[in-house]
A and B are shown apart, each in its own frame.
Chain A
Amino acid sequence: GAGVSQSPSNKVTEKGKDVELRCDPISGHTALYWYRQSLGQGLEFLIYFQGNSAPDKSGLPSDRFSAERTGGSVSTLTIQRTQQEDSAVYLCASSSDRGRRNTIYFGEGSWLTVV
């Protein structure tokens, strides 16, 4: 597709369940980012993938959060044993060169509600 694609767009889950959020970056983009935006809060960095390098996981808030990127393209963010404080919009972004010179493009986000 032409832009960053995320699914599901909306997800309501019960506390304690696991959820998976998917991101399809722009074709050919080697860098992929996950951010989280809680209600009324700024965007919080979660994790970054660049090519075959080890991901930068420094923003993951707990060990319940993990992400993988298969084949250097699609990425999945997994939240295990969800808690109400995990409710937020999860935004994925991609860039052709890690963002040092070129624009970073964001998807529409996956809106997660934990009840």
Chain B
Amino acid sequence: KQEVTQIPAALSVPEGENLVLNCSFTDSAIYNLQWFRQDPGKGLTSLLLIQSSQREQTSGRLNASLDKSSGRSTLYIAASQPGDSATYLCAPFNQGGKLIFGQGTELSVKP
């Protein structure tokens, strides 16, 4: 059974800092891994999708890496801004055919 752990559970940083969110998963038999953000009271917004054959993906100030064999992914946010404040969710897509979610990292970026 796939289990997903995200560390840290919560993070508070001053504006402008670079930061790293960590995700680990127990079953490496995945097709891909997605990172989402969730704002309070809202649904999920997809940030990045990394295929199992890829090592990393970049979108603007976001960079996600994937080490499938060790069951790890990281989301790097450069030059953080208050608008980045949200909960970030990691979700590998299992060969069983579904996304399995971690508990998320709640990020607060202070002006």
Q: Which of A45, A50, A107 contacts B43 (CB 8 A)?
A: A107
Chain B: which residue is nearest A41 at the CB level?
A: B103
**In the complex, are the beta carbons of B93 and A43 less than 8 A apart?**
no
Q: Which of A35, A98, A104, A107 contacts B46 (CB 8 A)?
A: A104
Interface residue ranges, B against A (CB under 8 Å): 31-32, 34, 36, 42-46, 49, 51, 89, 91, 93, 97-104
**In the complex, are the beta carbons of A106 and B98 less than 8 A apart?**
no
**In the complex, are the beta carbons of B97 and A43 less than 8 A apart?**
no
CA distance A33 to B93 in the complex (A): 13
Answer yes or no: A84 CB below 8 A from chain B CBs: no
CA distance A73 to B21 in the complex (A): 36
* CB neighbours of B42 from chain A (8 A): 108-109
- Beyond contacts A42-B103, A106-B45, A108-B42: 10 other A-B pairs, Cβ-Cβ < 8 A, are A33-B98, A43-B91, A93-B44, A99-B97, A99-B99, A101-B51, A103-B34, A103-B46, A106-B46, A107-B43
